[in-house]
Amino acid sequence: MDFNDIQNAWNNEKTENVLLPDNLEKIHSANTPLDKIRKNLKNELIYQTISVLLIAFTPYIFHFEQKFIMPFYLLFSMFTAVCVYYLVKLYLFYKRLNNIALKTKDNLYETYFDIRLNMELYKTFGFALTPFMVLFLVVFVYYQALKSANFSILEFNNTELISIFSVVVFTMLFMGLMLEWWVHFFYGKYAKEIKKVIDELKEE
């Protein structure tokens, strides 16, 4: 191949695959929010795992009666299965983030969409845990009420049942809103920074 052939081959290359210095610098700027997402996700995985382990000792910390221990662990086993499923998925996402090097536009696009997908996965995780957390709370309050009232069964009138129902609904809605805020604060705002870089690259 002579010089003219080389030159023709060079001219025929797609210019969209060539990164200008400015573009490369913008792509590298996305590493800062990505590092923050990595750090937050690592902390989440640690704290979530510790929390699950601590919940396992609840009956012994609060001295549950023997008849309440089996129902508690039946509920806890389902809770743990849900936690393991989602935590494994989030851990695999964390491993992918650690192996990412933002050097091309394609890397940036794929990383951004992976982050958005796993933000939704995190929300699903939180919504899946919310009923369990409410049930844990109801069982715990019920058990404490039994101890203090010294009754084998608590009887509720219609007004009290409506109040309990309202509290449960309000608690679930509140936890849903808190989950949305949590995801936005620890992940969403950094994902927006990456999206801003992508939009700037599209404009050029």
Query: Who's near 11: CB < 8 A, 6+ residues apart?
Result: none
Of 29, 180, 194, 42, residue with least CA distance to 115: 194
pLDDT for the residue 175: 87
Q: Do the domain assignments include residue 92?
A: yes
pLDDT for the residue 107: 82
Split at pLDDT 50, 70, 90, the class of 17 is very low
Split at pLDDT 50, 70, 90, the class of 53 is very high
Of 52, 54, 73, residue with least CA distance to 139: 73
Tell me what percent of the residues of the chain surpass a pLDDT of 90.
40
Split at pLDDT 50, 70, 90, the class of 15 is very low
User: Which of 19-23, 104-108, 172-176 shows the highest mean pLDDT?
Assistant: 172-176
Amino acid (1-letter code) at residue 106: D
Question: Which whole number is the average pLDDT over 104-118?
Answer: 89
pLDDT for the residue 68: 81
Q: Do the domain assignments include residue 183?
A: yes
Split at pLDDT 50, 70, 90, the class of 59 is confident
Count structural domains, the chain: 1
- Reported as type and span, the H/E element at residue 23 is helix 21-29
pLDDT for the residue 160: 64
Return mean pLDDT, the chain: 81
Q: Do the domain assignments include residue 118?
A: yes
Q: Do the domain assignments include residue 108?
A: yes
Question: Which whole number is the average pLDDT over 27-42?
Answer: 86
Higher pLDDT, 93 or 163: 93
pLDDT for the residue 5: 52
Q: Do the domain assignments include residue 129?
A: yes
Q: Do the domain assignments include residue 131?
A: yes
Tell me what percent of the residues of the chain surpass a pLDDT of 70.
78
58-67, 76-85, 176-185: segment of lowest average pLDDT: 58-67
pLDDT at 132 over 90: no
Q: Do the domain assignments include residue 8?
A: no
Q: Do the domain assignments include residue 105?
A: yes
Higher pLDDT, 15 or 174: 174
63-72, 104-113, 141-150, 177-186: segment of lowest average pLDDT: 141-150
Of 41, 44, 24, 21, residue with least CA distance to 33: 41
User: Is residue 114 within 8 Å of residue 93, measured between CB atoms?
Assistant: yes
Domain boundaries, position 51: 22-202
